[in-house]
């Protein structure tokens, strides 16, 4: 409601009888009615202002939340550098602490879990062009030859598999709601806990595509069991309106929930399933559910990866590595700054395992 929406007719109210407690007689009644009308008008205006302020606060909170989930990576001030330095002390680089990680991994069966966007590929303006480099693909191929490996992404499983282009991996798409094992193993795990939501997801997708046409740069992506509304190419002044549009649509679907990632709004079924559950499912499928000598390593850059980091902390077993150039609240133990550092870490891990395996063979006593 705006001020223009509020219209109070003094003449209409004045035509009535004197209000209780007002002066008697026509003049007194008219005075009382006009006074009441003015009071009522002010009340309406106050209510309108309050409603507008509430809406403004709501929009501001939306914009603030969207900014918080999508930190900028511009030049840092001295205080920013100090903050990042303090954060790195708490979440040290997995490269600088590689020997420490190697010591924790010694004698353990490593299982690798990795997000895709922002971890194996750079974040780009157009999500359809988030290609990984040939060098990264080669590194992931070597990782998969050395350890059981899974890609856990918010993307549609088929899409992320096409991006990666490797067959001997586990792929968990839609934030872990669509899991399939290596194509070379026809009996490999398959998990789709949100199948009943497919018609609803398609319906909401069509609605959001139509609703967001008025927002230049907005892109709605159908990830099969969840949806993504990308606003990386949207003018920041339009974030409020876009957030409200999406929120209004999702309000009609109480079985869906709205969360936020890096310049993306995520719509998912309201079920108790996330990347952490996917990690647990895959460990169980691989026969490592209750193994004391397994070491899950999860590398990711997004808020949704925190569910996996939390699982590792709760298990007291495994390593969470957050990919970020900015300080973030995280349950990860270590950090890497970008996909280039991720690739370096992966190659070092493969090299270390192969060398340690060779050393074990060399010192094995003859029987």
- Of residues 348, 352, 325, the one with CA closest to residue 336: 325
Residue 265 forms beta bridges with which residues? 229, 260
- Of residues 62, 66, 65, the one with CA closest to residue 232: 66
The CA angle 115-118-119, to the nearest 5 degrees, is 45
Catalytic residue at 301?
no
Asked whether 222 and 207 are in contact (CB, 8 A), the reply is no
- Of residues 253, 6, 245, 218, the one with CA closest to residue 125: 218
Exactly one of 46, 64, 82, 115 is catalytic; name it: 115
- Return d(Cα 209, Cα 206) in angstroms, integer: 5
Q: Please identify every residue annotated as catalytic.
A: 115
């Amino acid at each position: 409601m705006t001020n223009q929406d509020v219209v109070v007719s003094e003449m209409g109210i004045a035509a009535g009888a004197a209000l209780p407690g007002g002066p008697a007689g026509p003049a007194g009644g008219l005075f009382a009615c006009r006074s009441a009308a003015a009071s009522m008008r002010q009340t309406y205006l106050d209510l309108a202002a309050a409603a507008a302020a509430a809406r403004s606060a709501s929009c501001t909170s939306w914009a603030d939340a969207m900014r918080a989930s999508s930190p900028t990576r511009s030049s840092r001030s001295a205080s920013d550098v100090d903050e990042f330095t303090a954060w790195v002390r708490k979440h040290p680089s997995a490269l600088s602490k590689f020997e420490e990680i190697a010591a924790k991994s010694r004698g353990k069966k490593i299982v690798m879990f990795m997000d895709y966007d922002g971890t194996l590929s750079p974040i780009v303006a157009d999500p359809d062009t988030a290609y990984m480099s040939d060098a990264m693909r080669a590194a992931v191929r070597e990782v998969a030859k050395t350890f059981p490996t899974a890609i856990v992404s918010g993307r549609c499983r088929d899409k992320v598999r096409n991006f990666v282009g490797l067959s001997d991996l586990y792929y968990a798409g839609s934030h872990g709601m669509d899991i399939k094992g290596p194509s070379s193993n026809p009996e490999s795990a398959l998990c789709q806990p949100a199948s009943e939501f497919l018609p609803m997801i398609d319906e909401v997708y069509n609605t959001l595509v139509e609703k967001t046409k008025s927002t230049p740069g907005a892109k709605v992506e159908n990830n099969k069991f969840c949806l993504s509304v990308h606003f990386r190419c949207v003018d920041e002044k339009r974030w409020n309106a876009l957030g409200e549009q999406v929120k209004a649509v999702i309000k009609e679907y109480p079985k869906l929930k709205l969360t936020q990632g890096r310049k993306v709004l995520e719509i998912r079924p309201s079920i108790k399933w996330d990347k952490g559950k996917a990690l647990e499912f895959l460990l169980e499928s691989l026969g490592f559910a209750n193994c004391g000598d397994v070491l899950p390593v999860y590398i990711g850059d997004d808020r949704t990866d925190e569910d996996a980091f939390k699982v590792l902390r709760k298990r007291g077993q495994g390593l969470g590595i957050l990919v970020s150039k900015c300080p973030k609240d995280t349950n990860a133990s270590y950090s890497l700054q970008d996909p280039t550092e991720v690739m370096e870490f992966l190659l070092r891990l493969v090299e270390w395992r192969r060398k340690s395996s060779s050393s074990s063979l060399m010192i094995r006593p003859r029987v």
